[in-house]
Amino acid sequence: MQLDEKWAFVYKKQDQCDPEDRADHTAGDCWDHVAFDAEHRLVLGVTFGKRSATRILTLLKQVKEQLGGRACPGWSPATSSRPTRRC
């Protein structure tokens, strides 16, 4: 399994967003996080939004569910934000 991320922006760049402007809450930085099996060329999961550990955990949980719990043996989202060994 391979994880990848890509940065983009929505409407305008993050440093030009005004935190007080409600319209800017959905503008600015946007990250696409993708999990895929490069050997078989399969996309296993995708999530997008602001960059955070929560989004990565969501992606890994999606992949684990899709693979029937076979993803990343020994990894637990409750104990670690990243696997201790290669998946």
- pLDDT per residue over 32-74, tens digit each? 899 988 888 888 998 988 888 898 899 999 888 888 866 555 5
Here the tokens at position 17 are 């967003």
| Nearest Cα to Cα of residue 1 among 43, 52, 48 | 43
pLDDT for the residue 77: 53
| Nearest Cα to Cα of residue 2 among 39, 53, 57, 31 | 39
| Nearest Cα to Cα of residue 49 among 79, 5, 83 | 5
> What type of residue is 7?
W
Question: With contact defined as beta carbons under 8 Å apart, do 13 and 28 qualify?
Answer: yes
pTM metric for this prediction: 0.62
Residue-range domain boundaries for the chain: 2-66
